[in-house]
Structure 1
């Protein structure tokens, strides 16, 4: 029973989050990687925390309340920060699930260590508190980091500011938990009740944002691509803008810009189409030539250079979310 109460709650919560992802944004392979990283992060934190306490002769209570939250939240968050930097996370939904998975892995490893060290302790309540309280806290804190960082990026905050605000929030929450300002029983009950509500709100809001983004951009991109293919772009504001750029770029660069715009729109539409199919329970359309087209887009992006990217930004906004949706095509 000790094993069940200490390990099952966080795993069941993670599975529930995964099943609630209606757009199927989360990759199982990446989810497992996050879970495994959490286990590795727990080992790193254990050895690092042990060294810090011994080397600096730190008071255990002060260490657990103020320094341990810093080392643990940084190590747990590394995997989600890497995924965000690689455009593998696009919305709060997948950020929350990947973040919780990393925290869950950490909690599982930590609780296994406690099971070994306290194997002769017959008190079941300890394992209930650790399983429903501490474990969910670890998952929730890392999910919070991931959501705040991706939210900051989408609001175009500097990356360092987005990361700092996410980690600071996690430090504070973790530190407050370790202070035990209220009874451990009440603290565990609050986490068990509040955390699902918070995730439900985040999922609902993020789903609405995702649906609005798909509806608005999908129709706009289809119309723009249709005009390009029919040769009617010149009579639009977008066409007039491209004509003006001829004064600033060589003819071959202008041609690359047209090709880049057309190919990006085609791939972006296909990525959004697949998201819509996933949401409605249909299989995505797999096209063998997609990888070649993505590589061609990458090559065109190199050819137009940074100046070309800046010039075409009013028409094609290659922001984090746009790069993320193109990555979805690679992962089919």
Structure 2
């Protein structure tokens, strides 16, 4: 054969034998470890509201791991000219092909339920977070409680699985009876304690202002737990999208509400002493566990009928309404704190405090600011008002704190907030701040009426130039008679 014929095959000759690449010792040990892992994992079962044993993906991978060959059996040739191995699917190439075929379900039919399972609870968390008008809770603590909720799932799963094994292997109960007992009694206790561990830490932080923050932090922890749980159950669902929708509007919201109740209890009695704090934690846990037990008993009381599903969704939506009601209740008490603290030696004028009291109407109040000064200046003004609200809340919290360390931390935050508000006041500018105060309702005027009365009683002559009238003319807020007093408050902060 000449050089041009090297590598050519004579027509009609049999194809050369193709040999699969050998499996190394490391690959063989890895396959064995994976096989043992997935075989052990299949023993565990879900112990929450849905009867789910394991994920189909785990079944596919476990089946493939069982078929991974040893080094000795890996050198099985392909059939001459054929597509199938004579090994009957026992070699590594066949196992890999099976896994690849099994992964074809990672398409829109699976990704859409995943998006629903994650997106809907996250959207409700965003809604609950937006209810805090004063943004008193630090975003870092929200993220921290969310991460704590993620970590609570494996802890709860291990504890629930241990309880199930104890009931079946130790006490001799049947699997069905033990599973029902774990779902309706053990799981609510274990999961609510696990989800609240992050809240117990957060309540000791200076960024935790009042039980409004507790409701938001608790809802974040419960939402994170529910998201992981949804993804865990999703793989075994016959109807992934239907299951995702059902859980997103029922179980997920129940988890968020239950944890929010714990946060409200901790925040409500945050400034109490040792026994009061412990009692608050017990009340929060009892409320959360009662809600969780009632929900699990409802969905496990028989076949999941439309009536059961409607009841579960009603509990979920009602839980969000209850969480929002707790937040509004807390905001009303926080407004009372602001009326008490703002303007009392914290560098906030009466006009600025009046705007802070009306934070619920902030979009309406600041719309003219954006129209006259632009969107960036409007954001600065809104941030300025939020900082003033936080300043008042932290001042009240420092006065109520019984723990010296907590009081010192809050006082340091008050000083920092005062510096931030002064810097923002200068950044916003005198002209813009004067305009902000000029568009306020008449509640901000009595301070200046009292000042005019005091000046008149002292016999002070009327100045030759009315500075406040000039500012009113520049801002276009309208002129008044010379004897009617100023239309704008003093833009300088009170001492």
TM-score, with structure 1 as normaliser: 0.67
Residue 276 of structure 1: how far off its partner (Å):
4.5
Which of 243, 248, 254 is matched with 1:137 structurally? 254
Q: CA 1:268/1:174 → structure 2, altered by over 3 Å: closer, same or farther? A: farther
Which of 19, 29, 33 is matched with 2:130 structurally? 19
Residues 77-118 of structure 1: CA deviation (Å, up to 9, x unaligned): 0111111123432222211111000001100111111123x1
Q: Which has more radius of gyration?
A: 2
Give distance in 1, aligned partners of 2:244 and 2:149.
Answer: 20
Q: Does 1:43 align with 2:154?
A: yes
Which of 233, 249, 271 is matched with 1:114 structurally? 233
Aligned residues: 257
Helix, strand or coil at the partner of 1:37: helix
Can you give the 5+ residue segments of structure 1 that lack an aligned partner in the other structure?
Answer: 223-265, 287-314
Q: CA 1:56/1:20 → structure 2, altered by over 3 Å: closer, same or farther? A: same
Q: CA 1:322/1:277 → structure 2, altered by over 3 Å: closer, same or farther? A: farther
State the partner residue of 1:126: 243
Give distance in 2, aligned partners of 1:48 and 1:104.
Answer: 20
Contact kept, 8 Å, 2:192 with 2:285, in 1: the verdict is yes
Give distance in 2, aligned partners of 1:180 and 1:88.
Answer: 38
Give distance in 2, aligned partners of 1:154 and 1:177.
Answer: 32
Q: CA 1:324/1:204 → structure 2, altered by over 3 Å: closer, same or farther? A: farther
197-206 or 66-75: which moved more?
197-206
Which of 267, 274, 284 is matched with 1:166 structurally? 284
Residue 200 of structure 1: how far off its partner (Å):
3.0
Residue 47 of structure 1: how far off its partner (Å):
1.4
CA RMSD of superposed structures (Å): 3.5
Give 1:1-332 correspondences, 5 Å limit.
Answer: 1-57=112-168, 59-116=178-235, 118=236, 121-122=238-239, 124-153=241-270, 158-180=276-298, 183-219=307-343, 221-222=344-345, 276=356, 279=359, 281-283=382-384, 317-319=400-402, 325-326=410-411, 328-329=413-414
Give distance in 2, aligned partners of 1:180 and 1:132.
Answer: 15
Greater relative contact order (Cα 8 A, min sep 6): structure 1 or 2?
1
Contact kept, 8 Å, 2:250 with 2:317, in 1: the verdict is no
Give distance in 2, aligned partners of 1:16 and 1:105.
Answer: 15
Residue 277 of structure 1: how far off its partner (Å):
10
Contact kept, 8 Å, 1:22 with 1:278, in 2: the verdict is no
Residue 36 of structure 1: how far off its partner (Å):
1.2
Helix, strand or coil at the partner of 2:135: coil
Helix, strand or coil at the partner of 1:54: helix
State the partner residue of 1:309: none
Q: CA 1:324/1:129 → structure 2, altered by over 3 Å: closer, same or farther? A: farther
Can you give the 5+ residue segments of structure 2 that lack an aligned partner in the other structure?
Answer: 1-111, 302-306, 363-381, 388-397, 421-495
Higher helix share: 1
89-98 or 64-73: which moved more?
89-98
Q: CA 1:123/1:39 → structure 2, altered by over 3 Å: closer, same or farther? A: closer
Give distance in 1, aligned partners of 2:347 and 2:410.
Answer: 9
Residues 198-221 of structure 1: CA deviation (Å, up to 9, x unaligned): 2332222211110111111335x4
Residue 149 of structure 1: how far off its partner (Å):
2.1
Residues 208-267 of structure 1: CA deviation (Å, up to 9, x unaligned): 110111111335x43xxxxxxxxxxxxxxxxxxxxxxxxxxxxxxxxxxxxxxxxxxx69
Q: CA 1:113/1:278 → structure 2, altered by over 3 Å: closer, same or farther? A: farther
Residues 29-75 of structure 1: CA deviation (Å, up to 9, x unaligned): 22111111111001111112112211342611011111111110001
